[in-house]
């Protein structure tokens, strides 16, 4: 009886350890920079941010700048342009306006902009993704 209970106890202990470790969010190797950035979508200079399938680079936000990708009306994804393989301010993932794939010109890693996942090259992880809150006229991007 005690042997059987000890087996259940060991199983339960392993289950709890694995379960707790899976809940931890893995931190990106791209340095974390706290910021809050607001984009007025009614501004004519930001009109491309409303076109599905279009991405826009915005310098000076996040660690190395950001890519804002419009997946569909009212759905945006925002990533830091710093490549997780190079982690250098001189190697920035680039996207050509209507391309769903961004590429690092230094290591040639490619990332799909619907999730930031690497699809090609030596990049060890996804692009650092930032939080986006949306209203019909505003995007609020932050890392907190």
pLDDT per residue as tens digits for the range 73-92 = 899 999 999 999 989 999 99
Mean of all residue pLDDT scores within the chain: 84
Q: Which fold has domain 36-142?
A: Rieske Iron-sulfur Protein (2.102.10)
Residue 43 has pLDDT above 70, yes or no: yes
Residues 6+ apart with CB under 8 A from 63: 30, 31, 32, 33, 80, 82, 89, 128
pTM of the entire structure?
A: 0.79
Kindly report, residue by residue over 86-136, the tens digit of the pLDDT.
899 999 999 976 789 999 999 999 999 999 999 999 999 999 999 999 998
In the chain, where the domains are located: 36-142
How much is the average pLDDT of 61-66? 96
- The single-letter DSSP state of residue 92 is B
With cut-offs at 50, 70 and 90, classify the pLDDT of residue 14: very low
């Amino acid at each position: 009886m005690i042997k059987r209970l000890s087996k259940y106890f060991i199983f339960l202990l392993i289950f709890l350890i694995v379960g707790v470790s899976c809940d931890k969010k893995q931190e990106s190797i791209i340095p974390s920079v706290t910021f809050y950035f607001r984009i007025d979508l009614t501004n004519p200079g930001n009109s491309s941010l409303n076109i599905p399938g279009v991405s826009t680079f915005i310098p000076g936000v996040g660690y190395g700048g950001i890519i804002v990708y419009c997946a569909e009306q009212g759905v945006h994804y925002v990533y830091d342009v710093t490549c997780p393989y190079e982690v250098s301010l001189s190697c920035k993932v680039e996207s050509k306006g209507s391309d769903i794939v961004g590429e690092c010109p230094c290591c040639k890693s490619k990332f799909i902009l619907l999730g930031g996942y690497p699809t090609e090259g030596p990049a060890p992880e996804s692009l650092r993704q930032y939080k986006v809150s949306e209203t019909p006229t505003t995007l609020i991007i932050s890392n907190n």
